Amino acid sequence: MFIDKFTKMFSNRGIATGFGFIILLMLIQTVLALWRFNDVKTEFVKVVDVYNVRMQLVQKMRVISRERAPILFSMVSTDDAFEIDDLKTEFGSLGSSFLGYRKQLVATNLSAQEQKLLDHHREFARSIVPGQRRVIELVEDEQYSAAQDLLVKEVSPNQIIALSKLDDLIAYESNNSHKAMDKAKKLFDTTRRDLLLATFLGVIISIAIGIFVSIRFSHFIKTLKKNKDDLEITVAERTKDLVEVNKQLQHLAHYDVLTGLPNRSSFLGYLSQGMKEMDSKNKGLALLFIDLDGFKSINDDYGHDYGDEILRQVATRVGETLRNDDVFARLGGDEFTLVAQNIVASDDNKAVKIVADKVIEALSQPFDVIDAQCHIGSSIGIALYPSQTKDLDELISFADTAMYAVKRSGKNNYKMYESSMS
């Protein structure tokens, strides 16, 4: 009796309406999923194609600024007129490249804060141009001592400050990249929730109509079950795709794409954590600032494909020399850092010197690249924590200063930071 009433209640028209509602729900779910996935894709493209492009442009500007500094030191250290002319030409060429990258950066529609940071660097850079020109004029007048004095006391410190202002812009772009990834993650979570909710509703409605269908159309139950299984497989596949996208975003944020080494952001985190751990162990650490010698000429002579392969091989070779608790990172261009932990002050820095010697030896060997054999070297500046400083930024600055001292004294060597270098 109850079954007959239930059967009359659900006529063929009711069946059609029920199945129509299920089809509509599935269409809505599909449209919603496609819309959400498109948003996630947009955020991913924004991270890779916008923020990373800006960061790369700023890093190129920083590399050029760093390359210009030793040119002035080379200029005041020689009395060869032809060499001075070549150095002036190279100095001007790098300046033109810098302006070109800055123009490309401005063309990416910077935000107000990004434009402000860039303007701060531009204003400061303009203020040190007269000093740079004065150094060149003194060299042309063969007043080398005065040129060197002006370079060391005024121009070089200002160039370091200008680099720090570019670092501020790099840090800001990195922060924007993290924010965009967080937004993509939220979209992922929302999409997963909506898909699960739509699936849940679809299952409930399918069960309700399945009761009636099982009484009158037993064969139709199999069809519903198959649709349900297919729907769950689709949801699982899409969820897996979103998880993979999120992993890729996380990797791009913390590791260098070319070498697979930790990037600047990760390096700063490792260094900060290492300083805290050494404090708890009553030990110290050493920061090695590594700059490749002769790398620019390889790019100029052979092309960037050769340069990229050199960087990958550098990461492999140095990685093979590391101790278990050492961290090797790439800051950008041909700049690398190495954090050597568990340094005991009483060992007269023997452990640090051994690490530096191994790195120099590894990078002094020929590099077999594609169809050529290339040679480079490495200039390494070393600063110690906490014996020389307990400040992270100052530790980095000391190591960078010591590296420049190696560059000036002949390259392919290492130096411990001394206060007389600053």
pLDDT at 109: 85
pTM for the predicted model, two decimal places: 0.45
- The answer to whether residue 259 sits within a structural domain is no
Do residues 159 and 308 both lie within one domain?
Answer: no
Give me the CATH number covering residue 295: 3.30.70.270
273 against 220, higher pLDDT: 273
Structural domain ending residue among the three candidates 207, 223, 254: 254
CA–CA dist 13, 272 (Å, integer):
70
Asked whether residue 246 carries a pLDDT value surpassing 70, the answer given is: no
> Tokens 């959400």 sit at which residue?
36
> Tokens 């996208």 sit at which residue?
245
Do residues 299 and 245 both lie within one domain?
Answer: no
Domain around 158: 1-254
Do residues 215 and 303 both lie within one domain?
Answer: no
- The answer to whether residue 218 sits within a structural domain is yes
Q: What is the mean pLDDT of residues 220-230?
A: 73
- The answer to whether residue 246 sits within a structural domain is yes
CA–CA dist 383, 414 (Å, integer):
11
Report the range of poorest mean pLDDT among 78-87, 242-251, 332-341.
242-251
CA-based nearest residue to 356, from 284, 289, 418: 289
| Beta-bridge partner residues of 404 | none
Considering the chain, what is the average pLDDT of its residues? Answer: 83
Do residues 230 and 336 both lie within one domain?
Answer: no
Number of other CB atoms surrounding residue 2 within 10 Å: 6
CA-based nearest residue to 317, from 369, 281, 352, 252: 369
pLDDT, tens digit, 9 for 90 and up, residues 275-290: 999 999 999 999 999 9
CA distance readout (Å), 219 to 169, 205, 368? 66, 18, 68
Asked whether residue 331 carries a pLDDT value surpassing 90, the answer given is: yes
Structure tokens at 199: 């699936």
Percent helix, percent strand, percent coil in the chain, to nearest 5: 75, 10, 15
Residue 379 pLDDT class (50, 70, 90 cuts): very high
Residue 264 pLDDT class (50, 70, 90 cuts): very high
Number of other CB atoms surrounding residue 27 within 10 Å: 10
pLDDT at 223: 74
CA–CA dist 313, 329 (Å, integer):
14
Structural domain ending residue among the three candidates 204, 223, 254: 254
CA–CA dist 279, 69 (Å, integer):
35
Q: What is the mean pLDDT of residues 24-44?
A: 70
Number of other CB atoms surrounding residue 54 within 10 Å: 21
Do residues 226 and 359 both lie within one domain?
Answer: no
pLDDT, tens digit, 9 for 90 and up, residues 78-131: 888 888 888 888 888 888 888 898 888 888 888 888 888 888 788 877 878 888
For residue 277, what are the contacts with CB-CB under 8 A and spacing of at least 6?
341
Backbone angles phi, psi at 263, to 5 degrees: -90, -170
Do residues 242 and 385 both lie within one domain?
Answer: no
Do residues 226 and 356 both lie within one domain?
Answer: no
Structural domain ending residue among the three candidates 254, 276, 300: 254
Structure tokens at 172: 């800001």
**Helix/strand/coil for 285:** strand
40 against 415, higher pLDDT: 415
Domains in the chain: how many in total?
Answer: 2
Do residues 268 and 248 both lie within one domain?
Answer: no
pLDDT at 307: 94
pLDDT at 48: 58
CA-based nearest residue to 185, from 250, 102, 89, 115: 250
Number of other CB atoms surrounding residue 134 within 10 Å: 16
CA distance readout (Å), 278 to 55, 164, 417? 32, 27, 20
- The answer to whether residue 39 sits within a structural domain is yes
Strand 377-385 relative to strand 414-416, pairing: parallel
Do residues 165 and 34 both lie within one domain?
Answer: yes
- The answer to whether residue 243 sits within a structural domain is yes
CA–CA dist 158, 152 (Å, integer):
10
Structure tokens at 399: 């190591």
The vertex-396 CA angle with 136 and 176, nearest 5°, equals 95
Tell me which long-range contacts 386-391 makes (C-beta under 8 A, separation of at least 24). Answer: 386/275, 386/278, 386/279, 386/284, 387/284, 387/345, 388/417, 390/275
- The answer to whether residue 348 sits within a structural domain is yes
Top-ranked range on mean pLDDT: pick from 137-141, 228-232, 256-260: 256-260
- The answer to whether residue 181 sits within a structural domain is yes
- The answer to whether residue 360 sits within a structural domain is yes
The answer to whether 18 touches 205, Cβ cutoff 8 Å, is: yes
Q: What is the mean pLDDT of residues 411-421?
A: 94
Do residues 216 and 294 both lie within one domain?
Answer: no
Report the range of poorest mean pLDDT among 35-39, 196-200, 315-319, 336-340.
35-39
Strand 367-369 relative to strand 414-416, pairing: unpaired
Do residues 269 and 228 both lie within one domain?
Answer: no
Q: What is the mean pLDDT of residues 317-325?
A: 91
Do residues 323 and 248 both lie within one domain?
Answer: no
